[in-house]
Structure 1
Amino acid sequence: MSSASGLASRIGRTRAAAAGARDLPDWMRVLLNGTVLVVLWNHLWFHDLANRALLLASEDGSVLTQATFVALGAAMAAALWRLGTERLRPLATWPLLLCAGWLGITVLLSVEPGLSIRRAVLMAIAAMLAAGVPVVARSPRQFALTLGAGALVILAASYCAVALVPNLAVHSAFDVNSDPSHPGLWRGIFPHKNEAGAAMVILVVVGLYVAAAGSRLLGWTVVLLAAGFLVASGSKTALLVLPVLLAVTALCRVFRGNLGRTLLLLGPVVAFSVVSIGSVLVPAIRERLGAVMTDATFTGRNEIWEFAIDNIFIRPFRGWGYGAFWMTERTMYAGSEQLTWVNTANHAHNAYLDTALTMGFPGLALTLVAFMLMPLRDLQAVAGRRDLDPATMLFVRLWFLGLVSASFETVLYNGNNATCCMFMMAVFGLRLRTRNRLARG
C-alpha cells in the first residue's frame, strides 16, 4: 500500500511539474494581454488630419501597423503554444471554418491579390489576438483588471492629448476632409471622432465588466471617463447605439427564455438594417424616414451605400477581394468624368455591404451564420434560462455592439477597427465558454 501511495504521489508531482512547465507567470499574461488590448483599441496614435497625403490612395498600408501586428502575433502565438493550442479547439466549428475558407478563396480571386493577401494576413493576426486574450488570462478577475488597466491607458492618453496637443486631438477646419460640424469635436489619440466614439462605447462596456468582476472603483472610473469623452466626441452613431445596447442587454436579464433573448438581440439589428439599407433600396422607407428624421441621409451615407450596392452587383459572387476596393487607385481615379466625394471614402459605412462587396453574397451569407446565428446559439448553450454572469454579459454586449454598429460603420473583417476586434473576441469568447473550463474561469 505504501508503495502504491508513493507511486501515486510521484505521478502527481510529475503531472504538476509538467503543468507548471507549460504555465506562464501572471506578469507575462498581464503584460501580453494589456499590450494586445491597447493595440487592438488603437494602434496608431496622433493622426495629423491636416496632412494632404490622406487624400491619396493608400494601398501600401502602414509599415508600423504591419510590424506591430506581426510582433504581437508572434508573442501571442508563442504564449498559446506554451499553454497548449488545444484550448482553441472549440473555435474549429464548421461555420467559422467555411467562412475563413471562403475569405481565402476570394482573396486569391481578388482584383488585387497581393494587396488582399497582405491585408488578410493582418486580419488573421488580429483574429488570433482577439481569440488569445481570454485564453491567456488566468482568471476572470485577472481578465477584468487587465481590461481596466488598458482602458485607463487609452483614456489618460486621450484626455492628455486634448489638453496638451489639441491640434492632433481635436477636429479643426484645417482637416483635409473637414466637415462643417466637426471642428471642436474631440478625437483624442484616434484618427477620427467616430472611431473615438466607438472606442468609448467599448470602454463603457469594459468598465461595467471591470466593476462587476474586478474592482468597482476602477470600473466606474473607466465608465465615467469614457462616457464624458464620448459626449465630447459628438459621434452620433455611438451616442445612438450606447443606450440601445445597455437597454437591450439589461432586458436579457429579465427575459431569460431563448425566444425572448433572440428577439431582443436580433430585433434591433434587423431594424437598423431596414432603416439604413432600406432607405436606399425602398423608396417608401426613405419617404417615411424623411418625415420623421431631420437627416434621413445619415450624413450622406446613402450616397456611399448606393455606390457600394452598384459595385456589389458587378461582382456578386466572388466580390472584389478583401481590402481591394476602397481607397485604391481603381476606385478613386477610374472613370474621372463620374468622380464624386464618394470615390474617396475609405469604407461603405455599412459592414454588411462591405462584406458583400469584398466577399460576394456567399461570403455575406456565411458571415451571418458564423457571426450572428452561431454566437446566439452559443449564448443559449452557456446561459440557458439562467441570468447572465459578468463575463457572458461582457461578450454579449460586445457582440451586440458589433452587430448593431455594422449597419452604420464597417466593423466586420477590419482588423484596424476596435469594434471589429472586440466583436471577434466576443464571438470567440462565447464559443470558448461552451467548451473550455479556463474560459469559464
Structure 2
Amino acid sequence: MSDVAGISAVGPRRVVTVSPDFLLASAALAALIFVPVLRAHGALLFLAAGTALCARYWQRSIVSCLRHWYLLLLPCFCLLSFAWSQYPAQSFRYGLQLLATVIIAVVIAMRLSPKMFGRLLFVFFGIAMIASILFGEVRGDTGAWLGIYGSKNALAGAAATFIVIAASQILDGSAPYGYRLLAVFGGLIGCVLLLLAQSVSAMAVVPPAILIQLGLLLYYRMSSAERFVSVSGLTLLGLLLAILIATNFSALEALMLETTGKDATLTGRTDLWDVALRFIRERPFLGMGYQAFWVHGHAPAEALWAYFGIDGRSGFNFHNTYLSNAVEIGILGVGLQIFVLYGAAILTCVWAVTSHRAEAALMFVMVVIVIIISFVEVPIFFQFSLRSVLIICAFVYGVEGVRANGRWR
C-alpha cells in the first residue's frame, strides 16, 4: 500500500504533494458515483482513469492482481460463460467489462489507504447530495425527490449510503474536529434527502448500519470481560429474537406489508422468483450465460417486460441477487459470488474487531448493507458498478487489514 497524498515541510513553507495514483483513483471513484449524470461518459471515465492507474507501475498492478487472484475467478467465470451462453457476444462483452472493473477495483484498493478511500466517498457523495438539492428533479405525482439520479429509489439508496459514510467520519477519532463537524452537516443533508425520497426500504437500512458502527465503537472501549459478557448477551438476545420471529411470523409479515404498503407478493417479487426458479431448474449449474437473459428479442424476457409494464425494456431483474444470478451463471457462479460477498463481510468484521479503526467499521457496514439489499434487489456483480467496486475493495482491505493485524494507517 502506498501513500497517495502527504504534506511535507520545506523550510518555513508547507508543500502539499499529491500523487498521480491518488488523482487517478479519485477520478475512477468519482466517475462511478456520478454515472447517473454522466451515463456512458461515466463508464468511459472510470475505464480511462482505471486503466491509467493500472498502467502506472504496471508491475505492481500485476503483483496486486496475483496477490488477490481469487477475486478474478468470478469475472473470469462470467467471461467464459460465452461458451454456453444463449447470446455469446453479449456474455463475452459484459464479462470482459466486469473483469476490467474488478481488476481496477483491486488496484485502487492497493493504491489508496482505506481511510483515504472512505474520505473520498464522503466528499464525492457529498457533492452528489448537494447537486441533488440544487439541480435535482421532483416527481410531479407523489412529490418524491429524484435528485440527479432520476429515480427516488436511487436517490434514497445514495442518501442512505452517504449517511452511513458520514457517521463513520464523525466517529473517526483520528479525524480533525472541523472535518468531523462537516460530516455532521453532511449526515443531516443525507437524512433530509432520504426523507424527501420517500423510500421506506432505504430508510430501514440506515438504523442497523448506524447501530453496528456505534456498537463497534463501544466494543473498542470495553475490557475483555465486558466484551465477553456483551457478546454473550447479544447472542442470547439474537436467538430470542429469532425464536419470536419464527413463532409470530404471520403476524409480523402482515404488519410489515401494512407498514410498507406492499401486497403479499411484495409488488410482484414472489411471482418473479417463481419464474427465476423455473429457469434455474432448466440449467442449474452453468445458467444461460452472463447477462444473457434480459436481452431484447429473448421471448421470456420480453414476456416479463410486457407483463410488468416495463416499456423501456431495461433496468429490470428478478429482484434477488442469488436467484437472478443463478439464472445467468448457475449455481457455480453464485457460489463464487457468495464467496466474494460473504468473504468480504467476514474479513472486514474480523478486521474491524481487531484493528479498532473507523475505516474498518465502515467497510464492514457497507458490506452488510449490500447483503441486506441482495435479498430483494440485484445491487452488485455487474460492470461499472460502484457497489461492486466497494465489495471488491472491502475484500482487499479486509485481507490486508487482517494480515497486517491492525497496523494499517
TM-score by length of structure 2 reads: 0.76
**2:111 corresponds to 1:119:** no
**2:272 corresponds to 1:297:** no
Deviation track 1:96-127 (CA, whole Å, cap 9, x = no partner) reads 35434433332432211111122222222332
3-state DSSP class of the match of 2:37?
coil
Deviation track 1:34-70 (CA, whole Å, cap 9, x = no partner) reads 2222222231318xxxxxxxxxxxxxxx754553343
1:238 is aligned to 202
**2:337 corresponds to 1:367:** yes
The structure in which a higher percent of residues are strand is 2
3-state DSSP class of the match of 1:187?
strand
Q: What is the rounded CA distance, in whole Å, between the counterparts of 1:209 and 1:390 in structure 2?
A: 6
Q: What is the rounded CA distance, in whole Å, between the counterparts of 1:87 and 1:39 in structure 2?
A: 22
1:103 is aligned to 78
Q: What is the rounded CA distance, in whole Å, between the counterparts of 2:407 and 2:87 in structure 1?
A: 39
1:324 alignment partner, one of 292, 295, 298: 292
Contact 1:312 1:356 in 2 (8 A): yes
Deviation at 1:74, TM superposition (A): 1.4
Contact 1:42 1:418 in 2 (8 A): no
2:27 is aligned to 35
Q: What is the rounded CA distance, in whole Å, between the counterparts of 2:96 and 2:143 in structure 1?
A: 37
**2:120 corresponds to 1:146:** yes
1:222 alignment partner, one of 186, 189, 207: 186
Higher relative contact order (CA 8 A, sep 6+): 1
Identity of aligned residues (%): 21
What 5-or-longer segments of structure 1 have no aligned partner? 1-24, 47-61, 163-168, 174-182, 279-283
Q: What is the rounded CA distance, in whole Å, between the counterparts of 1:242 and 1:360 in structure 2?
A: 32
**2:130 corresponds to 1:156:** yes
**2:279 corresponds to 1:315:** no
Deviation track 1:141-189 (CA, whole Å, cap 9, x = no partner) reads 5444433321232122211113xxxxxx22345xxxxxxxxx3211211
Contact 1:90 1:431 in 2 (8 A): no
Q: How does 1:264-303 map to 2 (within 5 A)?
A: 289-290=253-254, 293-294=257-258, 295=262, 296-303=264-271
Q: For the aligned residues, what is the CA RMSD?
A: 3.6
Deviation track 1:354-404 (CA, whole Å, cap 9, x = no partner) reads 2212111122223223321x23442465355x4631111111011111111
Q: How does 1:413-432 map to 2 (within 5 A)?
A: 413-432=381-400
Contact 1:91 1:432 in 2 (8 A): no
2:347 alignment partner, one of 345, 354, 378: 378
Q: What is the aligned length?
A: 366
**2:302 corresponds to 1:353:** no
1:128 is aligned to 103
1:71 alignment partner, one of 39, 43, 48: 48
Deviation track 1:252-282 (CA, whole Å, cap 9, x = no partner) reads 455667x959x98xx89xx8xxx9xx9xxxx
Contact 2:78 2:329 in 1 (8 A): yes
**Structure 2: which amino acid aligns with 1:340?**
Y
Deviation track 1:179-221 (CA, whole Å, cap 9, x = no partner) reads xxxx321121113211221112221222223332542133223
Contact 1:111 1:321 in 2 (8 A): yes
Contact 1:203 1:223 in 2 (8 A): yes
Contact 2:28 2:50 in 1 (8 A): no
2:215 is aligned to 251
TM-score by length of structure 1 reads: 0.71
2:4 is aligned to none
